[in-house]
Amino acid sequence: MPEGLHPLAITMWDFSWIERRWPGAGFESWDEALDQLTERGYDAVRIDAFPHLISADPQKEWTLIPVWYSNDWGSPYINRVRLVPQLLAFLEKCREKRVKVGLSTWYREDRDDVRKALNAPEKMAECWIDTLRLIEDAGLMDVILYVDLCNEWPGDFWAPFFTNDPPWMTWSCWHTDASMAYMRKAIRLVRNAYPHLPYCFSFDGESTRYYREKDLSFFDLAEHHIWMTKLNQQQFYREVGQAKDGRFTEEAYHLLSDHALDVYAGKKDYWRALLSDGINTLAQDAKAAGLPLATTECWAITDYKDYPMLPWDWVKELCALGVKTACATGQWALIATSNFAAPQFRGMWRDTAWHRRLTDQIHASALPKELDASPLRETMQWHTPK
Integer CA distances (angstroms), 28 to 19, 65, 277, in order: 10, 20, 39
Give me the pLDDT at residue 243, please: 86
Q: Is residue 386 part of a domain?
A: no
Smallest CA-to-CA distance from 370 within 332, 338, 343, 339 is with 332
Q: Is the C-alpha dihedral spanning 30, 36, 41, 47 positive or negative?
A: negative
CATH number for 287: 3.20.20.80
Inform me whether the pLDDT recorded for 65 exceeds 70: yes
Pair 9, 359: CB distance under 8 Å: yes
Q: Is residue 347 part of a domain?
A: yes
Give me the pLDDT at residue 249, please: 87
Q: Is residue 354 part of a domain?
A: yes
Q: Is residue 58 part of a domain?
A: yes
Report the alpha-carbon distance of residue 149 to residue 184 in Å, rounded: 11
Pairing of strands 79-82, 61-64: antiparallel
Give me the pLDDT at residue 247, please: 74
What's the chain's average pLDDT?
A: 96
Percentage of residues in the chain having pLDDT higher than 90: 95
Give me the pLDDT at residue 386, please: 45
In the chain, how many domains are there? 1
Report the alpha-carbon distance of residue 153 to residue 164 in Å, rounded: 11
Pair 54, 84: CB distance under 8 Å: yes
Q: At what angle do helices 86-97 and 30-39 cross, to 10 degrees?
A: 30
Residue type, 16: S
Give me the pLDDT at residue 3, please: 54
Give me the pLDDT at residue 385, please: 56
Percentage of residues in the chain having pLDDT higher than 70: 98
Q: Is residue 384 part of a domain?
A: no
Question: Would you say how long the chain is, in residues?
Answer: 386
Inform me whether the pLDDT recorded for 1 exceeds 90: no
Alpha helices in 43-196 (DSSP H): 51-56, 86-97, 121-137, 177-193
Give me the pLDDT at residue 168, please: 95
Range of the domain at 230: 8-379
Inform me whether the pLDDT recorded for 254 exceeds 80: yes
pLDDT digits (tens, 9 = 90+) for 123-140: 999 999 999 999 999 999
Give me the pLDDT at residue 2, please: 42
In the β-sheet with 293-295, what is the strand arrangement from edge to edge? 199-200, 144-148, 100-104, 44-48, 8-14, 332-335, 293-295, 222-225, 202-204
Q: Is residue 257 part of a domain?
A: yes
Q: Is residue 1 part of a domain?
A: no
pLDDT digits (tens, 9 = 90+) for 149-202: 999 999 999 999 999 999 999 999 999 999 999 999 999 999 999 999 999 999
* Mean pLDDT along residues 1-26: 91
Q: Is residue 3 part of a domain?
A: no
* Mean pLDDT along residues 100-115: 97
* Mean pLDDT along residues 241-268: 92
